[in-house]
Structure 1
C-alpha cells in the first residue's frame, strides 16, 4: 500500500520544504494534507487516517505535543495509530533528550541527510508492522510525557489553599459539595461538570485552575478534560482498542484514560 503522511507546520515555507524533501527521499510517500496548526492536524488526521504525522512542536493554538495527545485520546477504529515525527528547532542539548526519549524528530532547517535517516526508520517500522494497538498507545503516552519535560515551563503558580467545598449550581440552586464526595470533574464548553453519586452540578472555573486547588494525592487528571477522585476508582481495564477505562464507585460512566496518564493504572 502507498504510505500516506500529514504535515502540520505553521510556517508555509518550511512546510513546503519538508514536503519537497520528503518527495526526494521517499518518492512513493503521498502527502495527504498540510495544515498550519495542531487543531487542523487533529481533525484532518481523524478524517484521513494517515500512516505518518509530521508535527511541528510549536504551533499557534495547539502545539504538536497537544495535538498528538488529543489524537491518542480520540483515535479509534481498525487503523493503527500513526507513526509520529516531531519537527523541532531545539538546540543540540534538547535533541539529545529527544533521542533518549526514543522520539523520532526532524531538526529545522530540514536536512535531506537527516530526513533520509528518518525515512529509513519509518520504512522499517511500516514493513515490520509489529506491535499491537496497546503497545503503540503505551509508547506514545510515555513519549509525550517525556517530551513535555523538554518544553519551557511557565512559572509555577503561587500555592493555593486546598478546596474543601465546591459551590456548584444545580438549576437555580447553589449546592455546597464536600470535595471528598466528588467522583470526577469533567470540562464542558464553558463549565466544569461536578459528578457525585447523587447527581451532577456545574461550576464556571477552568479545569486547570481547579486542578491546582485539589489534593494531588486524591485527584488525578486522566485526560485533557477529566479529573477523577482516586478514592472512587474501583478498577481499570483495557477495552477492545487497548485503551484503559475506569470503573467508578457511585457512577455509571466508564471514562477513558489518555495514554499520557495510563501509567498511573498499570498496577491495578
Structure 2
C-alpha cells in the first residue's frame, strides 16, 4: 500500500512538475520581492507574455496533430507589415486592415497545408522553407524597411494614413490580456470538449488508426495549420498595435519563446 502511494506521488510530481515549479517561484519572488504581487506588476507580466502566449497556443494546435509549424514568427511579421501598410499607405479603416492581414496569413496556412498534406513534405522541412519564403515576401513588400506614420511609400509618394486609436488600444492593458485569456479559454474548450478537438488529438496520436476510424485526416491537419497561422497573425496584429509601426522581422523573436512555451506546456 505504501509503495502504491509512493508511485502515485511520483506520477503526480512528474505530471505537474512545471506547474509546481512555477508556483514555487511565485512564492519565492513574493517573499523576497515585496512589490512582486502588486496589481501593476502582475498586469505588466501578463501583458508582456500575451503575444507569446497567443502564438504558442496556435503552435500547440499544430502539435496536437503531431505537426510542427516553424513559420509562425514570419507569419506574425507578415501580419504586422500588412496591417500597418493598410493603415499608412492606403488609409484603410480598422476592420478592412485587420481583414486583409488575416487573409494574408490564411494564404500562408493554406500553402503550408498544401506542402504537408498534398505534396507530403515533412512538416519540419515544409514550414522551415515557408518561414524563409514568408520573410522574403514581407521584406519585399515593405522594401526592406519599416513602415510608420508619415513615411512615404516605396516610390516616394507621400502618405497621409493614420493608425486608428481603436487599433492602438488593443495592445493596452487590460485589453491585450483579455484577448489572450479569451483565446486561451476558447482553444482549450475547443480541443478538450468538442469532437473536432478530440479528432485533432486522434490524428496526432495515430494517424493510420484515425483514418481507419473514418476521420478525415487531411482536413484536420489543414485545420491545425490554419489555427496556427491565424493565431500567429493575431500575435502580429497585437505587435503592430503595441509598437505602432511595421518592423523588419518583427515576429522572428517570438518563434523560440513560443516553441519553448508550447513544448514545456
Q: TM-score, normalised by structure 1?
A: 0.24
Q: More strand by proportion, 1 or 2?
A: 1
- Whose helix fraction is larger, Structure 1's or Structure 2's? 2
Greater relative contact order, per chain length (Cα 8 Å cut-off, separation 6+): 2
TM-score by length of 2: 0.24
